[in-house]
A and B are shown apart, each in its own frame.
Chain A
Amino acid sequence: NAGVTQTPKFRVLKTGQSMTLLCAQDMNHEYMYWYRQDPGMGLRLIHYSVGEGTTAKGEVPDGYNVSRLKKQNFLLGLESAAPSQTSVYFCASSSGRYNQPQHFGDGTRLSIL
């Protein structure tokens, strides 16, 4: 039972490069989320999705795009990476039903030089 799987686990980019982070869940969850964690802080919501084909902005969406073409996958894109986007990125999913917890992946550590 894999739960929430994030790919890749580590990545180093140069300023201006683009990349896509993949999140996959095998729990048939409706809701999926992307968070970022900066040193000494809690997680902050970037974007989220309440179902296949839907996306919405979270607290810190600037510089990121997302897509949810399949229910089990949620992609986070950086079109032109900036050093301020150096962070650890976490994906999460939940069933969307009342009183159900979020399940988190192990994170992707992204460094932008």
Chain B
Amino acid sequence: GIQVEQSPPDLILQEGANSTLRCNFSDSVNNLQWFHQNPWGQLINLFYIPSGTKQNGRLSATTVATERYSLLYISSSQTTDSGVYFCAVGLPFNAGKSTFGDGTTLTVKP
């Protein structure tokens, strides 16, 4: 099956710093989502981005499908950004199933 690798596994930042999270995948995909799992365990959908670039406030994401990677940018980080960030990808003609990476754990210190 498809392999999804996220890096770095852990990231510690001071409040106000910027960061880039990476998601590499081993096959061509037709869907890709970024999630934030908050301290209560809820999965918050950040972006649906199988290709191209999207921005939402301090967060933006870019997927280069031909090179099989996606990047999540967090600018001016806040303590509420802490949590685990997951990338999930789906293959074409695969019933919409998603394969998740193991996540990046982000800690933002005040």
| Closest partner residue, chain B, to A93 (CB atom) | B96
Q: Are A109 and B48 in contact (CB under 8 A)?
A: no
Q: Are B95 and A56 in contact (CB under 8 A)?
A: yes
Interface residues on A, range: 20 to 34
Chain A positions within 8 Å of B30 at CB level: 98-99
Report Cα–Cα, A90/B95, bound state, in Å. 17
Report Cα–Cα, A103/B44, bound state, in Å. 9
Interface residues on B, range: 20 to 34
Q: A50-B95, A58-B97, A96-B96 are in contact. Are A106 and B42 (CB under 8 A)?
A: yes
| Closest partner residue, chain A, to B45 (CB atom) | A101
Q: Which residues in A have some Cβ–Cβ distance to B below 8 Å?
A: 31, 33, 35, 40-45, 48, 50, 56, 58-59, 88, 90, 92, 94, 96, 98-104, 106-107, 109
